[in-house]
Structure 1
Amino acid sequence: MNRKWVVNSSPLIVLTKINQVHLLKELCNELIIPSGVVQEICVAPDNDPAKIWINNEGSIYIRDVDQIDISIAAWDLGLGESHVLSWIYKNPGYEAIIDDRAAKIAAVALEIPVRGTLGVILLAKQEGKLKSARSIFEQLPEVGFRVSRQVLDSALKLVGE
């Protein structure tokens, strides 16, 4: 395994709310959280699980992004997405962990590898880090993650559930 991930706000927020944020570090060799992602997360209330995690054990993964690359800025994405893609654009060899549709389209257009929260969960199941993807997927709507039942069912078929 030689995975290097740069993670956006949504996957961090969702995975901390369902107590699965540990999967990020377990599934990759190097984890980066750009400063713009931290800024987005830290506007949350002090009791927010993602904010608590980022201010504690997650703090070792934070990296500054001084400037959004012009190629990324042209896509008019949010700060976190722009920082994730700028980091990878300047540091090839990383994969973006993002859920935002526009950011995924930008990543594909810029030839940046991309995976979402569902992809992280499926990979965890495939690599034996989770007994059941279904039990994790069932928690997603409860924490505000919007995804169609059809997408979830298709994803579960990929891992034999």
Structure 2
Amino acid sequence: MQKATVVDTSCLILLTKIEQLGLLYELFGTITITPAIADEYGYPLPTWVQIINPKEDSLKIFKAFLDAGEASAIALVMESPSSLLIVDELKGRQVAKEIGIKFTGSVGMLKLAEKKGLISNMTEVIKKIKKKLISEYLMPY
């Protein structure tokens, strides 16, 4: 596998909710996900998303302590160590750090988009994220 950007489910979902999924393409071109991530995401995928299965032997190791999406993403990046992993969950980030995988999260990706001029106002994007999270996850008492 060539150098790739492997994206975990949480980033895809967040960007979809704030209507910014295209930022991934603008920043990285084709991105890579695994079948497990595609299943977790559950929405139709743009043509610039490629789906690749990691090798089963490396996947088994990570499935022991990570969810299916994170395990498959890390296993896939292990097959191409120069790849970038975009992952938000703490356990996935800890594993990536321990084994030397280059990673960032959704906020890091958004900061890069701002730096490259793809986002004009990061404060507004963060407000939009907060509004979505509050409306979807918090119920009034």
For the criterion TM > 0.5, the same-fold answer is yes
CA contact (8 A) 1:31 1:61 kept: yes
User: Aligned residue pairs: how many?
Assistant: 131
Amino acid at match of 2:103: V
Distance 1:27 1:59 in 2: 12
Amino acid at match of 2:40: E
Matched, 1:37 2:26: no
Distance 2:39 2:27 in 1: 25
Over the residues paired in the alignment, what is the CA RMSD in angstroms? Answer: 1.9
Matched, 1:111 2:120: no
1:70-89 correspondence to structure 2 within 5 Å: 70-74=60-64, 76-89=65-78
CA contact (8 A) 1:34 1:62 kept: yes
CA contact (8 A) 2:29 2:48 kept: no
CA drift of 1:35 comes to 1.1
How high is the sequence identity, in percent, across the aligned residues?
24
Matched, 1:95 2:84: yes
Distance 2:48 2:25 in 1: 13
CA contact (8 A) 1:68 1:83 kept: no
List, as ranges, runs of 4+ consecutive aligned residues in structure 1 with deviation greater than 6 Å.
none
Inter-CA distance 119–28: structure 2 relative to 1 (3 Å threshold): same
Amino acid at match of 2:122: A
SS in 1 for 2:128: coil
CA drift of 1:92 comes to 1.6
Inter-CA distance 29–59: structure 2 relative to 1 (3 Å threshold): closer
Equivalent position of 1:151 in the other structure? none
Distance 1:37 1:7 in 2: 8
TM-score by length of 2: 0.84
